[in-house]
Amino acid sequence: MAKTSTKDIAQALYESTKGKSGAELSRLLENAVALLAKSRLLGKSPEILEHLEKIRDKDLGIVSAKVTSRHPLARHTLDEIRRALKSRYRATDITLETHEDPSLIGGIKIEAKDELIDISLKNKLRQLQTHLINNQ
């Protein structure tokens, strides 16, 4: 018998519960947990939930992004990043997770989908250094 991946389990769970609510949703989730327990897959729950969240976000057009800067960003800056990412990825919504990195001199780094947008001063200096070294 073929082994079922956690991604496949998450996809099946999402499809079977999509649009359901109340008692019907509760029954489906109870059955899913019982099946996972019977299959000895409860230990894989965090991985399944991670896949489930990605599947849901993709279906709803939600993009999650990690924004790293030296200092906390102002609300209007975060709103501008949100607007730019919404346009870039044609998303219905953007969720931002912010982080501070004191090693950055200035600028920001944005990780969204499988892309890194590095507009930090540290990266610009590294690019300049490479350019100067290669064009001597």
Domain count, the chain: 2
Strands (E) across 1-136 are located at: 62-69, 93-100, 107-112, 115-120
45 CB-near residues (< 8 Å, 6+ apart): 36
pLDDT tens string 70-121: 999 999 999 999 999 999 999 999 999 999 999 888 889 999 988 999 988 8
Q: Which two tokens stand for residue 74?
A: 């102002």
Q: What is the pLDDT of residue 2?
A: 60
The percentage of the chain sitting over the pLDDT mark of 70, rounded to a whole number, equals: 99
pLDDT level of residue 135 (50, 70, 90 thresholds): confident
Same structural domain, 45 and 84: no
Poorest-confidence range of 54-58, 72-76, 92-96, 132-136?
Answer: 132-136
Same structural domain, 67 and 54: no
Which of 28, 43, 58 is where one domain is finished? 58
Same structural domain, 122 and 72: yes
Same structural domain, 80 and 109: yes
Range of the domain at 11: 6-58
| DSSP notation for 1-43 | -PPPPHHHHHHHHHHHHTT--HHHHHHHHHHHHHHHHHTT-GG
| Domain contains 1 | no
Same structural domain, 52 and 66: no
Mean pLDDT value of segment 2-10: 84
Same structural domain, 45 and 105: no
| Domain contains 96 | yes
Q: Are 55 and 13 in contact (CB under 8 A)?
A: no
pLDDT level of residue 125 (50, 70, 90 thresholds): confident
Same structural domain, 66 and 26: no
pTM value surpassing 0.85:
no
What distance in Å separates the CA atoms of residue 56 and residue 19, rounded to the nearest whole number? 12
